[in-house]
Structure 1
Amino acid sequence: MNATLVAVALSLFSAAAYAAAAVAQERLASRAPGSGTLRMLASGAWWCSVGLNTFAALLHVVALKYGPLTVVQPLGALTLVAAVPMGARVAGRRVGAAEWRGTAYTLAGLAAILVTASGSAPEDVLSASEALTVAAVTAGLIGLLARPGSRPGLRHATASGFASGVASALTQTVTVAATDRSGPLLSVQVVGVALLVAAFAAGGLLLSQTAYRGGLGAPLAVVTLANPMAAAVIGLALLGERLQGGAAGVLLALAGAGIASWGVVLLSRATPEPVREEEHPVAAVLALKPESASLEPALRHTPVPMPRPKSEPGHLTPL
């Protein structure tokens, strides 16, 4: 089987797992918006989301072994596409027309990107100095975007996307260096880069959890865009990855990126369709009570005739 097809298939399963984890994180953040890190560590639901993220990351790592960053990372946008119906299902509502349009634009843009980004399995890796430089620059950007005291929101989502994208690029270096090189499996370069991967992956998870306190749509959209952006810059600038088709391929990739970005924007702006009362189980129960409820006020306000006083002896009853 073609290595690129294997990478695409693994990326699809990874995106579905990431979407389930994002929905779980958003639900947890909405229920306890002011909870700190220590309180989250004591939550079983949070650890379930961590497990889903870990499973998705493992699939992502294997995908990076078979496909270049310019193929694997854009498929991460499918996380948002999968999270939309998942989130609607959990919330008990239908997916709106604007959400379906955003999904269609995102898929069309991804298709255009994959046509130009298809390439062979990765061979180049980041050197120790390149990995440290990328890590230092990314850490500085994350510090500026998520500085202490800043309000949780899209800046934290951007920082999370950068952290996840850099973690993916460093992960590819670890997998290729550990499996395709004749050197020792646990070299200083492999161990050092693996520690950086763990740090950026954990940071991206915590930053996304903070960003989801304001909702799932817009923060997840920003994470979805920032992640492949950071990884693509590293792949094209440092790993020797190229787009197929020359100048026409570059234009097609840019057009696909624009279409996919517009689809993500539509998904982030889409207003969730409210649940119809007749479809809600609570409304169905309440629908059984109008008759009994209407009888109570009628009984309450129905005038009761008062008995006429009897006439005492010696008094004449007026006519």
Structure 2
Amino acid sequence: MTAVLLAVALSLVSAVAYAAAAVAQERLAARDSGGGVLRLLGAGAWWASVALNASAALLHVVALKYGSLTVVQPLGALTLVAAVPMGARAAGRRVGPAEWRGTALTLAGLAALLVAASGPAPERVLSLTGALAVAGTTAALIGVLSWPGARPGLRHATASGFASGVASALTQTVTVAATDRSGPALSPKVVLVAVLVAAFAAGGLLLSQTAYKGGLGAPLAVLTLSNPVAASVIGLTLLGQGLRGGAAGVLLALAGAALASWGVVLLTRPGPAPADEEHPVAAVLALGPETAAPEPVLVPGPSPDPGRLTRL
């Protein structure tokens, strides 16, 4: 139980770091006028987001050492929960009631999932053949979802989520195998799978940067949902990481997944617009023809000079 609590705590901190990185990436994408990755390489803010992603990934790796995929991956939804207030603050607005409701539903759903999935620390990992099969299948899916010329958006976010979820599954394989004292820490299997982890992690980062060109809310939500789906499928089908409580545990997990999904949907809806009094320039620009300020009228007025006009 202590190992599960440690995995949850590490996942919480990791989610906050991922959220900060996502907000930074979205702001960079919003200002991107072209140039692609080469232009980003010269931006200090992008490297700061890369550092945040790397720190979050490191915490995630340690969490996977102490918790199963079915525990750690659903906690990735907390990235969206943390990104909502961060993104609102960066945009100069308040968090709306729908966003608060989405946060509450997401947290309730995650709590139910944790109760159903809180199993022991992982012992079984992917074989080399299994890792290569998972990597090949995922690479093919990513290629279909993000073919050249595809418009940035939800397809890229889905591909990014799949890449990150598979990277987590492979990371757990590397972590458990590398710390297994029965064999060498740097066996050919560990090295090869570590290379695959690096490739999928880098691909997921670049795909998310592309997806955020369409905004933060919907792409981050799709990424947040597709990530644990990919990892949980691997954990449940290939690693034997089942749910606790039998049929009751399955029902609890399904109810939790439904609550968390609905919460994520609410979090993707646009937040409230800033108040007009906080943005006087926007208020002036919003004036229509019927509400526009009247032009000054020049009328003859009493004056010693007969040709002089008085401004009303």
Match of 1:192 in 2: 192
Match of 2:3 in 1: 3
Match of 1:249 in 2: 249
Alpha-carbon contact 1:84-1:99 (below 8 Å) kept: yes
Match of 1:26 in 2: 26
AA partner of residue 71 (structure 1): V
Cα distance between partner residues in 1 of 2:194 and 2:16: 25
Alpha-carbon contact 1:116-1:253 (below 8 Å) kept: yes
Match status 1:274 vs 2:288: no
Q: Which digits, 9 at most, give the CA deviation of each residue in 1:150-195, with x for residues without a partner?
A: 1111010000000000000000011111112421111100000000
Cα distance between partner residues in 2 of 1:130 and 1:308: 98
Using structure 2 for the length normalisation, give the TM-score: 0.91
Alpha-carbon contact 1:61-1:171 (below 8 Å) kept: yes
What SS class does the counterpart of residue 192 from structure 2 fall into?
A: helix
- Kindly state the Cα deviation for residue 307 of structure 1 after the two structures are TM-superposed: 2.9
- Kindly state the Cα deviation for residue 104 of structure 1 after the two structures are TM-superposed: 1.1
What SS class does the counterpart of residue 274 from structure 2 fall into?
A: coil
Matches within 5 A, 1:112-261: 112-261=112-261
Q: Which digits, 9 at most, give the CA deviation of each residue in 1:10-51, with x for residues without a partner?
A: 000000000000000000001115331111111111111100
Match of 1:100 in 2: 100
**Larger C-alpha radius of gyration, 1 or 2?**
1
Per mean C-alpha deviation after superposition, the further-off stretch among 33-42 and 91-100 is 33-42
Per mean C-alpha deviation after superposition, the further-off stretch among 34-43 and 158-167 is 34-43
Cα distance between partner residues in 2 of 1:111 and 1:17: 21
**Structure 2 CA distance for partners of 1:282 and 1:235, relative to 1, 3 Å:** same
Cα distance between partner residues in 1 of 2:165 and 2:33: 26
**Structure 2 CA distance for partners of 1:306 and 1:191, relative to 1, 3 Å:** same
Per mean C-alpha deviation after superposition, the further-off stretch among 46-55 and 275-284 is 275-284
Could you list the runs of 5+ residues in structure 1 that have no partner in the other structure? 285-293, 310-319
Aligned residues, how many?
298
Match of 2:305 in 1: 307
**Structure 2 CA distance for partners of 1:155 and 1:162, relative to 1, 3 Å:** same
AA partner of residue 29 (structure 2): A
- Kindly state the Cα deviation for residue 127 of structure 1 after the two structures are TM-superposed: 0.8
Match of 1:262 in 2: 262
Cα distance between partner residues in 1 of 2:235 and 2:71: 10
- Kindly state the Cα deviation for residue 276 of structure 1 after the two structures are TM-superposed: 1.4
Matches within 5 A, 1:277-296: 277-280=276-279
Cα distance between partner residues in 2 of 1:33 and 1:244: 50
What SS class does the counterpart of residue 73 from structure 1 fall into?
A: helix
Cα distance between partner residues in 2 of 1:60 and 1:266: 26
**Structure 2 CA distance for partners of 1:240 and 1:181, relative to 1, 3 Å:** farther
Cα distance between partner residues in 1 of 2:168 and 2:160: 12
Match status 1:53 vs 2:53: yes
AA partner of residue 63 (structure 2): A
Cα distance between partner residues in 1 of 2:63 and 2:280: 42
| RMSD over aligned Cα atoms | 2.1
Cα distance between partner residues in 2 of 1:129 and 1:109: 35
Q: Which digits, 9 at most, give the CA deviation of each residue in 1:54-77, with x for residues without a partner?
A: 000000000000000000000000
AA partner of residue 26 (structure 1): E
Cα distance between partner residues in 1 of 2:139 and 2:125: 20
What percentage of aligned pairs have identical amino acids?
75
Per mean C-alpha deviation after superposition, the further-off stretch among 94-103 and 3-12 is 94-103
**Structure 2 CA distance for partners of 1:112 and 1:278, relative to 1, 3 Å:** same
Cα distance between partner residues in 2 of 1:67 and 1:156: 28
- Kindly state the Cα deviation for residue 122 of structure 1 after the two structures are TM-superposed: 0.7
Cα distance between partner residues in 2 of 1:175 and 1:94: 41
